[in-house]
Structure 1
Amino acid sequence: MKRPSGIALDVATLASLADLLTPYVAQEDLRLAETYKWKIPDGAPVAPFNTSGLSLADANMRLKRSLSEAWHLSGSDRASLARWYVGRWGGIYANKDVTLQGYVLLPEDELERAPLAGVATWSKILAMRDPTRYAIFDARVSAALNALQIADGADPILFPDLLSRNSAVRAFQGWVRAKHGGARRVRKERAYPDYMALLREVSGRLEHDSPDRAEMVLFANAERLIQRAMSR
């Protein structure tokens, strides 16, 4: 079956997706201390950075804000901050220095329109630069958004498949292509702006001061949502 061309999400469609995502984030936000498991490696290039007594979710949020403060200090080594956050924290080591430097030098409004192939990297840099406005977009988050819609029985509007090392995510992507190949899809060049519009709408409804809580809920629950979707 020929896949339909992508769409840009209009106001009504974004509101409908937010209606689905908001109660899920509200429910799972209460469990982030239990479900969010991404560890922070040693050697964070910011000081002071004390995570004593914090959950991993809260520690990661504090890390982003500490790195953001360091980013905006006069004379900061932004390339080193980006390299540590993307590589050491994010586990993405394949980027060449010239690629990271290009992302570092781009203004935020241009960076958020960068090619989607690098979004797992450049969205981390955006989230580090300003965690109150931007959130990470990667394969787990995209899969979680798609799985939530399918599990709910909705006529899904699928966010793009992104490269993943996670076997559950890869299996789900293949399953979606086989079972929902005719579904509407978000246009690739609009995927990150539309994703951020959705997270900001949800965060506003929940009176969160930043979109990263919603993103972390999706990241932490991706595999559970995948299981729910594939068991329908």
Structure 2
Amino acid sequence: MLERRALEIWEIVQAYDTPYEWAVGPKARASLDDILGETANCWADADAATTNRKLRELLTSALNDPNTDHDKAGRIYGWIVADWGGVRRNRQAVEAWSQPANGWHGHYGDDVLLAFADRVGATRISSWSKVFAFAAPDRHAIYDSRVAVALNLALEQLGETDRFFMPPSRIVRDKDGVPRPNAVARARARLRGGERLGYREYLAWLTAVRAQSAGVDFLTIEASLFANAPRMAEALGAT
């Protein structure tokens, strides 16, 4: 179904045409420069999408550089997940993924990465998929709550009943500590049930869209899902 309706899903997402916005603050920038030992070449661009693409290319190169040892790779993992991605819980465990016992660093083939994904299932998928996406962007992409909600809203609009697993979204609270769920969180709550699709199915859909669309890569699709999810949730979430 996903491959057959790949472009229909993609067209629904694209129709919202929301600019990609994800700021990298000065502390995070300084931290990355410290890890790399040089000033990253991607901070001068005012456009967030351009910055994001240059950052992806920069860290893909660093992670696949034979001179990057396991400890440096771990620091990059931690930066991607915590400083850039905002998932700060258990950073030490994220950095430990780079160690030889795990087998990732220096071996970013699908025999290693997908074996890990199959073993852990949805556990911390928003974190490890970020590392996968930076280490092997031609074969992997970030899978988080926004991405899954956007896909599920499109599937719902098409009348499909299968759903992607939706990782927890960040809980925003007011000054009194009362949860204030945003549109994506509200849509996530409503869409629960039938979550039979996961990371492998996501990759299959991405691959189908890329094959059927000129000039589109995984990062373009991933960024569009992420950027459009809030507007999709506002427009479709109450239906």
Q: TM-score range by the shorter chain?
A: 0.7 to 0.9
TM-score normalized with structure 2 length: 0.77
Of 94, 97, 101 in structure 1, the residue corresponding to residue 92 of structure 2 is 97
- Residue 26 of structure 1, CA deviation: 5.5
| Within-5 A mapping of 1:43-82 | 43=30, 44-45=32-33, 46=36, 47-76=39-68, 77-82=72-77
Of 182, 186, 203 in structure 1, the residue corresponding to residue 196 of structure 2 is 186
Which residue does the alignment assign to 1:135?
Answer: 141
Which residue does the alignment assign to 1:15?
Answer: 3
For residues 85 and 45 of structure 2, the distance between their equivalents in structure 1, rounded to whole angstroms, comes to: 22
For residues 200 and 217 of structure 2, the distance between their equivalents in structure 1, rounded to whole angstroms, comes to: 16
TM-score normalized with structure 1 length: 0.79
- Residue 133 of structure 1, CA deviation: 1.4
Q: Which moved more, 1:70-79 or 1:47-56?
A: 47-56
The percentage of counterpart residues that share the same residue type is 24
Residue correspondences, number:
207
Pick 1 or 2: higher relative contact order, CA cutoff 8 A, min separation 6. Answer: 1
For residues 117 and 126 of structure 1, the distance between their equivalents in structure 2, rounded to whole angstroms, comes to: 14
Name structure 2 gaps, 5 residues minimum: 105-111, 172-180
1:125 aligns with 2:131: yes
For residues 148 and 5 of structure 2, the distance between their equivalents in structure 1, rounded to whole angstroms, comes to: 13
What's the Cα RMSD here? 2.2
Name structure 1 gaps, 5 residues minimum: 1-12
- What SS does structure 2 have at the residue aligned with 1:16? coil
Q: CA distance change for structure 1 residues 103 and 136 in 2, over 3 Å: closer, same or farther?
A: farther
Letter in 2 for 1:23: E
Q: Which moved more, 1:162-171 or 1:45-54?
A: 45-54
Q: Is the 8 A contact 2:82 2:91 kept in 1?
A: no
Q: CA distance change for structure 1 residues 26 and 169 in 2, over 3 Å: closer, same or farther?
A: closer
- What SS does structure 2 have at the residue aligned with 1:172? helix
Q: Is the 8 A contact 2:75 2:95 kept in 1?
A: no
CA deviation vs aligned residue, 1:160-211 (integer Å, no higher than 9, x gap): 121111522221122224xxx4xx4324xxx001101101111221133631
For residues 50 and 9 of structure 2, the distance between their equivalents in structure 1, rounded to whole angstroms, comes to: 21
- Residue 99 of structure 1, CA deviation: 4.3
Q: Is the 8 A contact 1:137 1:192 kept in 2?
A: yes
For residues 227 and 196 of structure 2, the distance between their equivalents in structure 1, rounded to whole angstroms, comes to: 23
1:200 aligns with 2:188: no
Q: Is the 8 A contact 1:22 1:205 kept in 2?
A: no
